[in-house]
Amino acid sequence: MDYTYEQIAKMIDHSLLNPILTDEELEAGCQVALKYDVGSVCIKPYYLKRCSELLAGSTVAASTVIGFPQGGNTTSIKLAETRQAIADGGKELDMVVNIGKVLSGDWNYVREDLRAVIDCSHDAGSLVKVIFENCYLNNAQKIRLCEICGELGADWVKTSTGYGTGGATDEDLTLMRKHSPAEVQVKAAGGVRTLDRLLEVRAIGVTRVGATSTIQMLEDCKQRLAAGT
C-alpha cells in the first residue's frame, strides 16, 4: 500500500455545513474529527468559536466558510466574515468566488475580492481555500481562476461547495492541478464518499477532500491497512 492511516485522515476536512445540523450534531461532529484525527473540521461560522475550543491542543484545524455558498457577498462583508472567523480561531477558510463576476468576465473584481480575503487571512497566519463552483463554469474560466489564485498565493483551489449542481470530477481536478502552481494545493468537494473515491482523487494530486462520510472512509482505511489489502 502506498499510504498510511495518517496520510489519509489528514486529507479529510470533516464537513459540518449542512444548514439543518443542530448544535448537538455539530458538537458530536467535532468529537468525530478528534477521534479520527482528520485534517480539519469545516463548520458553520456561528459554531467556529466552540469548534476551536474543542479542537484546542489537537492536530485538527478549525475551519469555516466565507461567502458561502453563493459567493455574492460584497468584498467588505467577506472581509468582515474573515476577521470574525480569525477571531474565533479559524485556521483555514474556504471562500467562494463571486460566481456571477466570473461569469461576467470581470476579472479585476474577482482578483481584488480574492486578494482582500487571502491577504487578511495570511496576515493572521490562516490559510485560504478558494471555491470555484465548477459546475457553473467553463474550462477557460476555471483555468483563469487557477492562474489568479496562483498569483495571489491562495493555499488551495477547491472544486465546489457541495451545494451546487455538481461536485468534484476527474476532469476538473486534472485541469486544476495542471493549471495551478505547484505550491497551490487542490481540494475536491462534492461526491467523495468512499475510500476508493478518495484514493482516486489522491492519485490525481488532490491533497484535501471535503467529506461527510468520514467515519465510513476511515474505518475502511483501518480495515484495509490491517488486512494488508
Annotated active-site residue in 13, 142, 158, 172: 158
Annotated active-site residue in 49, 91, 129, 187: 187
Q: Is 49 noted as a catalytic residue in this protein?
A: no
Annotated active-site residue in 94, 113, 155, 172: 94
Q: Is 94 noted as a catalytic residue in this protein?
A: yes
Sequential DSSP letters for the chain: ----HHHHHTTEEEEE--TT--HHHHHHHHHHHHHHT-SEEEE-GGGHHHHHHHHTTSSPEEEEEESTTT--S-HHHHHHHHHHHHHTT-SEEEEE--HHHHHHT-HHHHHHHHHHHHHHHHHTT-EEEEE--GGG--HHHHHHHHHHHHHHT-SEEE---SSSS----HHHHHHHHHHS-TTSEEEEESS--SHHHHHHHHHHT--EEEES-HHHHHHHHHHHHHHT-
Q: Is 187 noted as a catalytic residue in this protein?
A: yes
Please list the active-site residues: 94, 158, 187
